[in-house]
Amino acid sequence: MIKTLTHPLIGRTVRLGRRRPSAAQLATRRWYRDYKTGFMPPLPADGAHWATPPAMSALRQMYLNDNLCDCVIADFAHLIGVLTGNANPPAVIYTPQQIETEYGVCGYVPGDPATDQGCDEITVLNYLKSTGFPDSTGNQHKIAGWLALNAADPTEWEEACYLFLNVIFCMELPDAWINPFPAADNWTWRVAGAPDPSNGHCFGMPGYFPRQKIGRIYTWGMVGNITYAAIEKYGVDAAGGGVYTVLSQDLIEKAKQIAPNGLNWAQLEADFAAL
């Protein structure tokens, strides 16, 4: 069952829609930890903050997640907005028609409600690697690859957010996170009971505050927070969760300069090329 919720800010419904990947899909994951080889420079004491004004123009988009179960597609469209908004403003913003087209990778047929069945994130991650999300200028916005992160290791997702400007959370939300529904920016999701498999959702983290142990997150056109403890509880396999980061070639080249010895870059790029 996929839930429909009431969004108090806009007076419309919003939807969940992340499907848990299959065991076979999960077995294909490449892990960030497997490429760590040496010294990683100290992370910034005040964290990383990529929800910049250009990126926010994309993060405010609903991307049809008010009437479709396309939260995974919407999240990756937001992600492309964060990457382009920081690297080469203005941020890419997709039209409703483009979002419907990309949702087709999960089987959606526009105008056929029976095909609105949500997505799993690994299908979409692989699609971004092979095809990308094209914008109105014809730029495909493909990624070089993606890596799974250990939700129980904050250092991994802090490093990924700092180096690659993104972390993606796919979780089965506890009921308390959506009842009541977040009413405005700056809510905080904390540990709040068991995850609910019918609350599958996908959202991104464009920044974090290490002193407060808070991640900055975006979803449904709003920007809020999640505690480190909540990430560690709900992002692990046992809770039906998953945590990921995507890498573009430009970001790989930038990260090599920041952390030249921190990762086995040659092996990472070779593995991405082989996929």
Given a contact cutoff of 8 angstroms between Cβ atoms, the answer to whether 40 and 92 are in contact is: no
Rounded to an integer, the average pLDDT of 68-77 is 96
Which of the four pLDDT bands, split at 50, 70 and 90, describes residue 97? Answer: very high
Structure-model confidence comparison of residues 132 and 4, the more confident one: 132
- Phi-psi region for residue 118, left (φ > 0), alpha (ψ -120 to 50) or beta? left
User: 């870059």: which residue's tokens?
Assistant: 265
3-state per-residue secondary structure call for the chain: CCCEEEECCCCEEEECCECCCCHHHHCCCCEHHHHECCCCCCCCCCCEECCCHHHHHHHCCCCCCCCCCCHHHHHHHHHHHHHHHHHCCCCCCCCHHHHHHHHHHHCCCCCCHHHCCCECHHHHHHHHHHCCCCCCCCCCCCCCEEEEECCCCHHHHHHHHHHHCCEEEEEECCHHHCCCCCCCCCCEECCCCCCCHHHEEEEEEEEEECCCCEEEEEECCEEEEEEHHHHHHHCCHHHCCEEEEEECHHHHHHHHHHCCCCECHHHHHHHHHHC
| pLDDT (average), residues 141-156 | 97
- Check pLDDT > 80 for residue 30: yes
Question: What is residue 38's predicted lDDT score, i.e. its pLDDT?
Answer: 80
Average pLDDT, the chain: 94
- The pLDDT tens digits for 198-250 are 999 999 999 999 999 999 999 999 999 999 999 999 999 999 999 999 999 99
Average of pLDDT values for 65-89?
95
Question: For position 25, what pLDDT does the model report?
Answer: 98
- pLDDT of 9 strictly over 70: no
Per-residue pLDDT band for 2 (boundaries 50, 70, 90) equals low
Q: Report the candidate in 138, 126, 127 with the shortest Cα–Cα distance to residue 98.
A: 138
The domains found in the chain, sorted by start residue, are: 12-18+26-274 (3.90.70.10)
Average pLDDT over residues 128-156: 96
The fraction of the chain above a pLDDT of 90, given in percent, is 89
Q: Which residues contact 24 (CB under 8 A, 6 or more apart)?
A: none
Mean per-residue pLDDT, 54-70: 95
Average pLDDT over residues 76-100: 96
Question: pLDDT tens for residues 153-184?
Answer: 999 999 999 999 999 999 999 999 998 888 78
